[in-house]
């Protein structure tokens, strides 16, 4: 079964850091672009970041550039999102998705809450 499972969401204070993980299974992970998409409570979907199969290309939304880092470990079939200098507006469910531009497999999401 093709599956993505996120973890790492937590409550963190403004200015803090958090690392999200996404474990992939059921497909050849290293042949797919991978992305993070987030959804703030009661709001719509928002693309966050995308990484190429070999990690050689990475793209970010403007508001997270310089604060978030997307990476992957193809040996462990895992996608990561390192989030630093977190702000209240980063509070959201973070989904990992398979693909770039369209996402055909989604994880169940992990909640990151930034609050004092």
Partner 1 sequence: QSALTQPASVSGSPGQSITISCTGTSSDVGSYNYVSWYQQHPGKVPKLMIYDVSQRPSGVSIRFSGSKSGNTASLTISGLQAEDEADYYCNSFSTSSTRYVFGPGTKVTV
Strand, coil or helix: what is 40?
A: coil
Least separation in angstroms between residue 13's CB and partner 1 is 27
DSSP bridge pairs for 76:
none
Least separation in angstroms between residue 90's CB and partner 1 is 16
Least separation in angstroms between residue 59's CB and partner 1 is 5
CA distance 61 to 73: 22
Rg (alpha carbons) of the chain, rounded to whole number:
13
Q: Does 108 bind partner 1 (CB under 8 A)?
A: yes
Q: Are 58 and 50 in contact (CB under 8 A)?
A: yes
Q: Does 110 bind partner 1 (CB under 8 A)?
A: no
Kindly write out the interface string for residues 12-51 of this chain, putting x where it contacts partner 1 by CB under 8 A and - elsewhere: -----------------------x-x------xxxx--x-
């Amino acid at each position: 079964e093709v599956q993505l499972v996120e973890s790492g969401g937590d409550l963190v204070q403004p200015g803090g850091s958090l690392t999200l993980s996404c474990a992939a299974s059921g497909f050849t992970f290293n042949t797919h672009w991978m992305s993070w998409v987030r959804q703030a409570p009661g709001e719509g979907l928002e693309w966050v970041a995308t990484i190429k199969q070999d990690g050689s290309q990475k793209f970010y939304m403007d508001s997270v550039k310089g604060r978030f880092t997307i990476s992957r470990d193809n040996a462990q079939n895992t996608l990561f999102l390192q989030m630093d200098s977190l702000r209240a507006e980063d509070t959201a469910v973070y989904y990992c998705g398979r693909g770039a531009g369209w996402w055909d497999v989604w994880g169940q999401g992990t909640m990151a809450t930034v609050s004092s």
